[in-house]
Structure 1
Amino acid sequence: MTTSTRSQTLTERAAALVGLLRRNAAKTEDDRRVAEENIQALAEAGLFRITVPARFGGHQASVRTLLEVSAELGRGCGSTAWNTTLINVCAWLISLYPERTQREVFATDPGARACAVLTPGGTSRPASGGHVITGRWPFASSCLHAQWALLGTPVTGASGEPLDRGLALVPMEELTIEDTWHTAGMRGTGSHTLVAEEVYIPAHRILSVTRALQGEYPTEFTDESLYRSAFVPVLASILAAPQLGLARAGLELVMTSLAKGRAISHTFYEQAREASSTQMQIAEAAQLIDTAALHLMRAADDIDNWAVRGLPMPLLDRARVRMDTATAVRRSREALDILLNVHGAGSFAEANPLQRIWRDLETAGRHAMTNPAIAGELYGRALLGIEEQITPLI
């Protein structure tokens, strides 16, 4: 199967699930976890194996394919798309570890799921052949459906001196979950807090984030281009895809409403679609969504092309990916804001799915990795050749 055929097949599978995800969206939000029917359908469609190595029965697809699938799922349910995306990026992260670690996760179950919190938390101390970690890690999206967790942790020496920044791979059965995710939007992601108490992590299950930021991964399979992809560009870009899908869902919902002949209150327009103001706003919203998609897919293609060439992605290109990602999120939010104006106050009725789409997009859009102001500053510094940056996450 060619790369383009695989991408089309996976995207078609995602599209086929949109109706199911929409039917379960309210349940997912009310239960504050993705509906099990969704999880089962996604697993059966192979959509948790998009980034799993082909060696283990995964699809080993491109970053662009992952983003296209994620955006498609976002048309059905923001929380489901978000969790599916993060489970896949966690599979990608695990595939950067040594083969021994990869086999522990995927050898018996190519569809094994993991969650992640990259922000360094807790404490660590060296132990025989590894480290012992203790701490709390909030915002662990998809933890309710995961068998493994990736936890950012400091790596320290015998005297407590900092040696590295690591990403520890931990079986979920060795952690506890604190119910802390009570939010206005993205309620179904179940992004609770993970707690570790004196959990031992063998050295082969600790990835050096410091080296990963430089494109140095311990996987022995250096010929697999997907696992040469630039670290932060992958982690940033995947966050925008579900949000693009949410914006598209909003456009579809409003267009459907207009097609049914809804009027504009307090005007002579018996059909809102006949008003030039409606036509102009719909055009602008659609164009903003297209702009978001173009920026996001440019970022994906940049990531994939540098990885295929086997070359490290230059700083300027990595900074542009951060900017493209933030732009995709911003334009998606702007488009939905216009669509809410077209649809009117009825958008916020509890029975109207548009208000849930809005809450999900406004919540997801505030993720720190897609902050437009920060992205603009770091990209501007890169364009101007200013060596001192504001974050290592580029």
Structure 2
Amino acid sequence: MTTRDWKHQNLELKNRLYSSARTMVPLIRQRANETAELGKLPDATIAEMQEAGFFRIMQPARYGGYELEPHVFFEVQMILAEGCMSTAWVLGVVAIHNWQLGLFDDKAQQDVWQDNDATLISSSYMPVGKVTHTEGGYMLSGKWGFSSGSKHCDWAFLGAMVPPAEEGGAPDYCTFLVPRADYQIVDNWNVSGLEGTGSNDIVVDNVFVPAHRLHRSLDGYNCDNPGNSVNLNPVFRLPFGQIFPRAVSTSSIGALQGALTAFITVNKNRTGLNDGARAALDPQALYAAATAEAVIDECRTVLFRNFDRQMDAVNGAEPLTTEERVKMRFDASAVSKKCTDAMNELFLSCGAQGIFKDHPINRSWLDINAGRTHVANNAFKLGRNLGSLQFGFDNTDFFL
């Protein structure tokens, strides 16, 4: 296949993915109440996303994936979020694991995908696991929270600090790959907002994890992973710390877009119950709509600009500096706050009608505010690190 043919085929694939996502928006919007009541995505939604190929966007080609750049993946996520942020959240978190598994030793990739390359992985990266060294690997125990999409997955990525093998060494933050038979899902997802993500607890009780099912955070930071020996596409050289945080912030952009569209539709001809004034002439409503559009545009522009720079770097341009990575990490964390602030202005401009559960923007309001609480969306911590660099202090974050 010539380069021209490959680019044409790639463009057709991207357009097909975008079209499929657009087709799904009204379907998942109709299922939003069912999704919330189930506390997980309906099986039909997972099946439709599987059929559309959404989970394969950044998956290694050796296991049926498309190995496309992150621009495509996050565009699909934003489109879906216009209909249901819980659906987009689960896709973002679970599908990005197919990219991360490509960073693991190929034995781990075979463990998951050799018999079924549509197998999915959930996660909880909080470093709460208890680890001991043993022959051939590790013994792992612990209880992890917030494992989104866990009921749809047959494996899990779980975070832990690995103690040094020799006295005097430093602990090593790692991700462990664990099969469904080795962990219990605790069905405790009883929340307001993002109900459909099914972000339940995971419990592991002293199970053996072979050494090849471990991914070191330091390898992800250095962009030099075991999987790079077999997955040669430059997309697998992107920094892990720049990819996953976008999976939990980008759905807010699409959800805000969906809310803005609904806000305009609802308020275009609405009149106030108390004063009879047209909502479309209310300066507060007009300003809220303008602000939401500006936030969407800004967040999308920064998202794609940063990935343009990252893709240039892995394709031979100047490597990313620490300063660039710190700034990009802050950019990712700031998305949720910006979208939440804009969403809250839309909500307030709907008056008391907005508090009804069947109001067109009520669910988006709950979901965006819920997403704001994710640790990766805490802009203050990342902003403090960026500000410290600006004042000449050392970087303190290596999840970059």
TM-score range for the pair, normalised by the shorter chain length: over 0.9
Structure 2 residue runs without a partner (length 5+)? 1-5
Q: What is the match of residue 170 of structure 1?
A: 178
Q: What is the match of residue 252 of structure 2?
A: 243
Residue by residue over 1:318-342, the C-alpha shift from the partner in whole angstroms, topping out at 9 and shown as x without a partner, is 1111221123222211221121122
Q: What is the match of residue 393 of structure 1?
A: 399
Q: 2 CA distance for matches of 1:348 and 1:306?
A: 46
Q: What is the match of residue 329 of structure 1?
A: 336
* DSSP 3-state at the match of 2:178: strand
Q: Which of 212, 220, 224 in structure 2 is aligned with 1:212?
A: 220
How many angstroms does 1:376 deviate by?
1.3
Judge which range, 225-234 or 308-317, deviates more. Answer: 308-317
Q: 2 CA distance for matches of 1:361 and 1:69?
A: 18
Q: What is the match of residue 45 of structure 1?
A: 52
Q: Which of 231, 236, 243 in structure 2 is aligned with 1:234?
A: 243
Residue by residue over 1:194-214, the C-alpha shift from the partner in whole angstroms, topping out at 9 and shown as x without a partner, is 111121111111111223222
Q: 1 CA distance for matches of 2:386 and 2:378?
A: 12
| Contact 1:52 1:110 (8 Å CA) reproduced | no
Q: What is the match of residue 133 of structure 2?
A: 126
Q: 1 CA distance for matches of 2:336 and 2:107?
A: 37
Runs of 4+ in structure 1 over 4 Å off:
157-163
Q: 2 CA distance for matches of 1:105 and 1:310?
A: 34
Judge which range, 15-24 or 327-336, deviates more. Answer: 327-336
Q: 2 CA distance for matches of 1:286 and 1:388?
A: 34
Q: What is the match of residue 80 of structure 1?
A: 87
Gap change, CA 1:289 and 1:157, over 3 Å in 2: closer
TM-score (norm 1): 0.93
How many angstroms does 1:159 deviate by?
7.7
How many angstroms does 1:307 deviate by?
2.4
Judge which range, 149-158 or 312-321, deviates more. Answer: 149-158
| Contact 1:121 1:136 (8 Å CA) reproduced | yes
Q: Which of 125, 148, 152 in structure 2 is aligned with 1:145?
A: 152
Q: 2 CA distance for matches of 1:25 and 1:322?
A: 31
Q: 2 CA distance for matches of 1:119 and 1:281?
A: 36
Gap change, CA 1:88 and 1:356, over 3 Å in 2: same
TM-score (norm 2): 0.92
Q: 2 CA distance for matches of 1:281 and 1:164?
A: 46
Judge which range, 16-25 or 298-307, deviates more. Answer: 298-307
Q: Which of 273, 278, 283 in structure 1 is aligned with 2:285?
A: 278
How many angstroms does 1:297 deviate by?
2.2
Q: 2 CA distance for matches of 1:282 and 1:227?
A: 38
Q: 2 CA distance for matches of 1:162 and 1:154?
A: 10
Judge which range, 238-247 or 104-113, deviates more. Answer: 104-113
- Identical pairs, percent: 25
How many angstroms does 1:275 deviate by?
4.1
Structure 1 residue runs without a partner (length 5+)? none
Gap change, CA 1:230 and 1:58, over 3 Å in 2: same
Q: What is the match of residue 255 of structure 1?
A: 264
Judge which range, 184-193 or 159-168, deviates more. Answer: 159-168
| Contact 2:263 2:360 (8 Å CA) reproduced | no
How many angstroms does 1:302 deviate by?
2.7
| Contact 2:334 2:378 (8 Å CA) reproduced | no
| Contact 1:237 1:299 (8 Å CA) reproduced | no
Q: 2 CA distance for matches of 1:381 and 1:218?
A: 33
Q: 1 CA distance for matches of 2:41 and 2:311?
A: 30
Gap change, CA 1:373 and 1:362, over 3 Å in 2: same
Q: 1 CA distance for matches of 2:72 and 2:330?
A: 20
How many angstroms does 1:66 deviate by?
1.2
How many angstroms does 1:162 deviate by?
5.7
* DSSP 3-state at the match of 2:398: coil
How many angstroms does 1:283 deviate by?
1.8
| Contact 1:64 1:304 (8 Å CA) reproduced | no
State how many pairs are aligned: 391
Matched, 1:15 2:41: no
Gap change, CA 1:94 and 1:311, over 3 Å in 2: farther
* DSSP 3-state at the match of 1:116: strand
Residue by residue over 1:5-28, the C-alpha shift from the partner in whole angstroms, topping out at 9 and shown as x without a partner, is 433322221111111110111111
* DSSP 3-state at the match of 2:193: coil
Matched, 1:299 2:306: yes
* DSSP 3-state at the match of 1:213: helix
How many angstroms does 1:250 deviate by?
0.7
> What value does the CA root-mean-square deviation take over the aligned residues?
2.0
* DSSP 3-state at the match of 2:157: strand
Which one-letter code corresponds to 1:30 in the other structure?
E
Q: 2 CA distance for matches of 1:80 and 1:69?
A: 11
